[in-house]
Chains A and B, each alone.
Chain A
């Protein structure tokens, strides 16, 4: 991607507090999203709002305290990290779709955690830069019901994270993850190989008496538990949610 093009997007998506003060955070955010070919939905009806073909915007121009932003659809857009600032103050957002956005990274999800903690549906399918850190952060959305991570090449341990997430958030359904029995290596071996921190120390020189004091721990760690749970698998039907409201 050309750097000038990217910088152009960053510039256009800058958060201007004066606009948010004038029209309210929901309408200001909706305005910016519509400028970038996104769609929004409010809490008063079931209609997805999009820019008209001639370029005008369907949104009211003045502050409307009854209109709260609820759903944001930014699939296939050029949304940048500066654009996430607009969601500051939009706590009623429950649906965010960032599918196939090429610039979306884990930092976007960190901002979402900060601004929209009531999220129920998150879609980051097809984003190449999303990594396991997104799964780590997903537990912070206490009401999350559906997480869509189909085709995310950066997520290497999606299956394992799904198990932990489902423990912490019982209502959660994760779309796009295969069953855990596909993993070739047990978890602790995979991590031993791939983590630089776990390989920094020398384990051979621990004196025997210290190891002996903690010897009640058996070698069967949580890994085995994970594998046992996976007999009833997490294979799910991949059903993209349509426009029924999720609230």
Chain B
């Protein structure tokens, strides 16, 4: 009844507009042709016309639309988290109809492709440790998981080197407690005393260091680009639909809510509108929408009204981080771990030709602007190089070769994962805010999302403490070991 009235309403206003003497408004951006999603009504005549149009226009018969009119699970963002979620949804729960919407197939600004690809088990929260350990387990057997039609997936080149966290005297006790917790979770981390460090790493300057924690098994670095490609190949074989487009709008449905104060309106997310490069805007309805847009998750959430109509907002914003490639002819060779200095600077070896990759996180006041991905070389001069040259004296004789910048999807409240459904829009799921650990935790997050959708609860790793409601309840979970 209501829908019939809504259909007639535009025609009344068109006639009214003809009678008005208002001057026409200036033309805005060119209107995109809108392709109706499945909830809008289509008359029988229109359906028949759509069926027979290919015959008259000469197109191939039965061409599926670029963006489907309806799908079960819509994943916004095709980075590691989104691809992993689609993989687990299709591999373990085959009945889902999964669509991934990614606006840039070249992944020029995607955090996954621009990250250093490190995996470590050394976190301060047990669930974070368990998530990284799952990533290691998956990579151990990833050939079996991701083989497509008997062909091996591309090598992820896992280097089993281990992370070395250095600690000064005032943080030594904290490090000991952390290692105890990590070992209880099953991670194989050990504490190295100053004497052991001097023996194992003679090229390191141990000024001010009391002890260090080292991951002996399962830690290292790999190439996340290859992993995403392997996952994508497997996804396509499993039947996941990839669509290129940008989500521009969310569509809602209102149901009346009978409260003691009267009849209120409860909004429900029906689906999204996606702008496709072919010039059309497609409406797509979905039962579940997963927000895995990485650094731009806050924007997507605002489009959905989170932060605009309902509060609180999603506190995720992009933060730019620089990574520098350095050449040092006398640097440590095979025994160079992924070194994390007390100042927060990190360095790891890349290949055997004397190249190293290093960087550091800037302090809160000195956050660089996120307008573009230009690199600030002054930051290397002032912050990164002094720390590294102090710790590894061989780097006094080094040369900066090149650098790149990428975005962290930074959770401004507590730098930890946000996962689960929104309290009001129950079919809108978050998978955001990993603040630099997305590559390590992406596979575990994908599996957790699959469990949340399929079983309505987390079965293997309990991530219910990372829900969105903790911001309203003022319950932040601080991770102290971020790099």
* Chain A residues with a Cβ under 8 A of chain B: 3, 6, 81, 105-107, 110-111, 113-114, 129, 131, 133, 136-137, 139, 157, 160-161, 164-165, 167-168, 187-188, 190-192, 195-198, 200-203, 205-207, 210-211, 214-217, 221-223
CA distance A215 to B452 in the complex (A): 56
B167 within 8 A of A: no
CA distance A157 to B324 in the complex (A): 25
Interface residues of B in 198-237 (CB under 8 A from A): 216-218, 223, 225
Identify the 8 closest CB pairs spanning chains A and B, nearest first.
A201-B402, A203-B402, A188-B353, A191-B351, A201-B404, A214-B399, A200-B404, A191-B353
For residue A49, give the distance in angstroms from its CB to the closest CB of chain B.
29
Number of interchain pairs (Cβ within 8 Å): 126
A residues in contact with B216, CB < 8 Å: 113-114
For residue A164, give the distance in angstroms from its CB to the closest CB of chain B.
5
Decide: A114 and B188 in contact? CB cutoff 8 A: yes
In the complex, which of the residues B327, B335, B351, B400 contacts A195, with contact meaning CB atoms closer than 8 Å?
A: B351
Interface size class of B (residues with CB under 8 A): 35 or more
Decide: B327 and A221 in contact? CB cutoff 8 A: yes
20 residue pairs of the A-B complex, CB under 8 angstroms, read A133-B158, A133-B160, A136-B159, A139-B334, A164-B333, A168-B334, A191-B355, A192-B353, A196-B223, A198-B351, A200-B323, A201-B325, A201-B375, A214-B400, A215-B399, A216-B397, A217-B328, A217-B329, A217-B399, A223-B353
Decide: A164 and B400 in contact? CB cutoff 8 A: no
B144 within 8 A of A: yes
A residues in contact with B157, CB < 8 Å: 131, 133
CA distance A222 to B327 in the complex (A): 11
CA distance A131 to B222 in the complex (A): 13
Q: A114-B188, A217-B327 are in contact. Are A198 and B350 (CB under 8 A)?
A: yes
CA distance A160 to B351 in the complex (A): 11
Decide: B158 and A206 in contact? CB cutoff 8 A: no
Decide: A198 and B225 in contact? CB cutoff 8 A: no
B140 within 8 A of A: yes
Decide: B223 and A203 in contact? CB cutoff 8 A: no
Determine the residue in chain A with the shortest Cβ distance to B152: A129
Decide: B160 and A197 in contact? CB cutoff 8 A: no
Q: A106-B158, A110-B160 are in contact. Are A203 and B404 (CB under 8 A)?
A: no
Determine the residue in chain B with the shortest Cβ distance to A128: B152
B residues in contact with A133, CB < 8 Å: 157-160
Decide: A107 and B140 in contact? CB cutoff 8 A: yes
For residue B402, give the distance in angstroms from its CB to the closest CB of chain A.
3
CA distance A160 to B333 in the complex (A): 12
In the complex, which of the residues A136, A195, A222 contacts B354, with contact meaning CB atoms closer than 8 Å?
A: A222
For residue A86, give the distance in angstroms from its CB to the closest CB of chain B.
16
Interface residues of B in 426-455 (CB under 8 A from A): none
For residue B188, give the distance in angstroms from its CB to the closest CB of chain A.
7
Decide: B217 and A187 in contact? CB cutoff 8 A: no
B34 within 8 A of A: no
Give the one of B377, B380, B398 with max A CB within 10 A.
B377
Give the one of A195, A197, A215 with max B CB within 10 A.
A197
Give the one of A6, A200, A206, A210 with max B CB within 10 A.
A200
* Chain B residues with a Cβ under 8 A of chain A: 114, 116-117, 140-141, 143-144, 155, 157-161, 188, 216-218, 223, 225, 323-325, 327-329, 333-335, 350-355, 357, 375, 377, 380-381, 397-404
A residues in contact with B350, CB < 8 Å: 191, 195, 197-198
Decide: B357 and A197 in contact? CB cutoff 8 A: yes
Main secondary structure of the interface of A (DSSP, over half): helix
CA distance A206 to B403 in the complex (A): 9
A residues in contact with B329, CB < 8 Å: 217, 221-222
CA distance A164 to B329 in the complex (A): 13
B residues in contact with A216, CB < 8 Å: 397
Q: A81-B141, A133-B157 are in contact. Are A139 and B335 (CB under 8 A)?
A: yes
Decide: B158 and A201 in contact? CB cutoff 8 A: no
Determine the residue in chain B with the shortest Cβ distance to A186: B353
B residues in contact with A217, CB < 8 Å: 327-329, 397-399
CA distance A100 to B233 in the complex (A): 29
B residues in contact with A137, CB < 8 Å: 160
Decide: B334 and A136 in contact? CB cutoff 8 A: yes
Decide: A164 and B217 in contact? CB cutoff 8 A: no
Decide: A168 and B352 in contact? CB cutoff 8 A: no
B residues in contact with A205, CB < 8 Å: 375
CA distance A160 to B335 in the complex (A): 15
CA distance A211 to B377 in the complex (A): 10
Determine the residue in chain B with the shortest Cβ distance to A223: B353
CA distance A65 to B97 in the complex (A): 59
CA distance A206 to B400 in the complex (A): 8
A residues in contact with B225, CB < 8 Å: 196
In the complex, which of the residues A165, A167, A190, A207 contacts B377, with contact meaning CB atoms closer than 8 Å?
A: A207
Q: A81-B140, A81-B141, A188-B353 are in contact. Are A106 and B160 (CB under 8 A)?
A: yes
CA distance A106 to B157 in the complex (A): 10
B residues in contact with A192, CB < 8 Å: 353
CA distance A195 to B221 in the complex (A): 13
B residues in contact with A165, CB < 8 Å: 334
Decide: B144 and A6 in contact? CB cutoff 8 A: yes
A residues in contact with B351, CB < 8 Å: 191, 195, 198
A residues in contact with B143, CB < 8 Å: 105, 129
Decide: B354 and A221 in contact? CB cutoff 8 A: yes
For residue A189, give the distance in angstroms from its CB to the closest CB of chain B.
9
For residue B297, give the distance in angstroms from its CB to the closest CB of chain A.
23
CA distance A165 to B324 in the complex (A): 27
